Structure formats: C-alpha cells, structure tokens
C-alpha cells in the first residue's frame, strides 16, 4: 500500500502486535495510519516510537455491562466461566477484563477461563468440557458471539439449554433468534459495520487539518431480547445500508482499508 502512494491506511488488525512493524514502515514513509476495531499493543507501539490513533469501542465497559446484566439473574457464589478470544488480541484482553470485573463485583465464583480463539467449533468443545467438569456451572461468558453460538450448541447437545446462561459480544445477526428464544441472555453491539466509516472519516480529518492523532471512542450498547424487540434492525446495519455505499464511492483513492480475511465479526 505504501508503494502505491496512499496517504492514509485504516487498519483493522487480527493481532495486536504482528503488524506494528508494517505500521512503522508506513509511518516512516509519511502515511497516516488509523487503527480501528482491535487496538494495536501500546507497549509495542511505544517501543517503535509510534503514536497511532485508535477509533473503536471501549471493549472493557461493553463486556462489563454484559456481565453485570448476567449477574442480575444469578446469586452470589454461583459458578461461571469465561470463554475468551485470542489471548494476544487487545479486544479479547479487554473483554475478558470487563467480564472479570462484573463477576467480581457481583460476588460470583469464576471457576475457569479458557480460550475459544474467536471460533465457534473451538468454543463448543471448550463449553462441553466446562459443563462436564463443573456440572453446577450457571453461566458462560463468551468474548464474541461466534463463541456464544458454539456454547449454545454444546449446551443443546448436552440437554443443558436453559440451565446454563450464555452471553456474548458483537450482536451478529445469528444470535438474534437465540436472544428471542432466551437461549442467549445478552450480547453487546459495538456497531462494527460503522467502524470503517468512523476510521476513514478520522483519517480524512487528520489529512485535512494536519491534526495530531488522538484516540476516538465509538459506541457500544447492551443488547437483550427486550432491546432487540424494540430495535430489531440495529443502527449499525441501518447505517451500513443507507450510508456506506454512497460514502464508499466518495472515499478518495489515497485512502486504503486494511483488514485480515475473517469469517466472523470480532
């Protein structure tokens, strides 16, 4: 991208550390880099002498809100477990921390934390092992909705649906039916369809004003069966349908979007 002469790159990294070297090369070439979705590792950036603005949600507060909602349906001392994403990904670390804070505040008993690596099949295996090891487990807190889908599948196969509560993060379309049927309790909507738009607008703003980069926080909302009924089509998807096509035609060729191939929203 640097060789193509772009003026700005909007980057959504799968790993918080792996691309910092490439970001350094882009920055040294005078390219503005804006980080969206998953935050680059602050310590690694400092080690390279980089300051890269992050445009995205507060994953910790979103996970904390989901965990707090779950806690209202449980009793102090109830056993719960966390299925986290990639242990090296900033958003995964923050979501785990938010879940842990909610669990501690409610006096719940966190009996295990295991990595599902953002994957439905892996999370299903983890969930199956957890409910076998802890037959009195009351809830599974999953760091994304794909893993929550895997947890629900494991509970269904074990005949434990309704006995173990499941929460997730992302508000993907596949979980809305589960929310309606009470097979999932809650998720968080980080309005992922808008993140690229937010990032591009900020990159253009930096180029236009030559402004020093600073982080910008984007919304994250608790989603339950009740809120989903009130707004069955999220603001993010409404924005994607109405604004993105027009906006994309207006993005200058000097702006490049970089995101790894993914099968799920992280």
**Statement to judge: residues 251 and 196 lie in one domain:** yes
Band of pLDDT at residue 235, cut at 50, 70 and 90 = very low
Domain annotation covers residue 94: yes
Q: Considering the chain, what percentage of its residues have pLDDT values greater than 70? A: 85
Is a pLDDT exceeding 80 seen at residue 258? no
**Statement to judge: residues 14 and 52 lie in one domain:** yes
What's the mean per-residue pLDDT of the chain? 87
**Statement to judge: residues 107 and 85 lie in one domain:** yes
**Statement to judge: residues 150 and 196 lie in one domain:** no
Query: In what order do the strands lie in the sheet containing 32-36?
Result: 216-218, 54-57, 32-36, 8-11, 255-258
- What CATH number did the domain enclosing 154 receive? 3.40.50.2300
Domain annotation covers residue 263: no
**Statement to judge: residues 54 and 64 lie in one domain:** no
**Statement to judge: residues 41 and 107 lie in one domain:** no
**Total structural domains within the chain:** 2
> Across 2-11, 126-135, 195-204, 251-260, which has the greatest mean pLDDT?
126-135
**Statement to judge: residues 96 and 22 lie in one domain:** no
Domain annotation covers residue 159: yes
| Exposed e or buried b per residue across 117-127, where buried means at least 16 C-beta atoms within 10 angstroms of its C-beta | bbbbebbbebb
**Statement to judge: residues 126 and 95 lie in one domain:** yes
| Average pLDDT estimate for 192-208 | 89
Domain annotation covers residue 1: no
Domain annotation covers residue 147: yes
pLDDT at residue 46, as a whole number: 94
Band of pLDDT at residue 89, cut at 50, 70 and 90 = confident
Domain annotation covers residue 26: yes
**Statement to judge: residues 37 and 109 lie in one domain:** no
Q: Can you give the residue range of the structural domain that contains 138?
A: 59-189
Domain annotation covers residue 235: no
**Statement to judge: residues 63 and 181 lie in one domain:** yes
**Statement to judge: residues 49 and 163 lie in one domain:** no
Residue with the bigger pLDDT between 256 and 166: it is: 166
Lowest mean pLDDT among 44-48, 165-169, 194-198, 223-227: 194-198
Give the relative orientation of helices 59-71 and 90-106 as an angle to the nearest 10 degrees: 30
Domain annotation covers residue 89: yes
């Amino acid at each position: 991208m640097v060789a193509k002469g772009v003026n700005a790159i909007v980057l959504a990294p799968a790993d918080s550390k792996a691309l910092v070297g490439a970001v350094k090369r882009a920055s040294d070439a005078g390219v503005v880099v804006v980080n969206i979705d998953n935050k680059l590792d602050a310590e690694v950036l400092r080690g390279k002498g980089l300051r890269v603005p992050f445009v995205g949600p507060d994953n910790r507060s979103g996970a904390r809100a989901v965990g707090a909602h779950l806690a209202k349906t449980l009793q102090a001392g109830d056993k719960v477990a966390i299925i986290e994403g990639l242990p090296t990904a900033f958003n995964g670390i923050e979501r785990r921390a938010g879940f842990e804070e909610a669990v501690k505040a409610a006096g719940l008993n966190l009996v295990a934390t295991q990595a599902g690596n953002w994957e439905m099949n892996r999370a299903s295996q983890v969930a199956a092992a957890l409910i076998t090891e802890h037959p009195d487990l009351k809830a599974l807190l999953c760091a994304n909705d794909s893993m929550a889908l895997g947890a629900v599948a494991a509970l269904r196969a074990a005949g434990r649906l309704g006995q173990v509560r499941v929460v997730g993060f992302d508000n993907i379309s596949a979980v809305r039916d589960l929310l309606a049927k009470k097979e999932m309790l809650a998720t968080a909507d980080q309005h992922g369809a808008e993140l690229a738009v937010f990032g591009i607008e900020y990159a253009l703003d930096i180029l236009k004003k030559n402004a020093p980069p600073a982080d910008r926080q984007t919304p994250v909302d608790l989603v339950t069966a009740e809120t989903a009924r009130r707004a069955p089509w999220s603001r993010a998807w409404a924005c994607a349908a109405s604004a993105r096509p027009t906006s994309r035609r207006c993005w200058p060729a000097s702006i490049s979007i970089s995101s790894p191939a993914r099968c799920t929203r992280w």
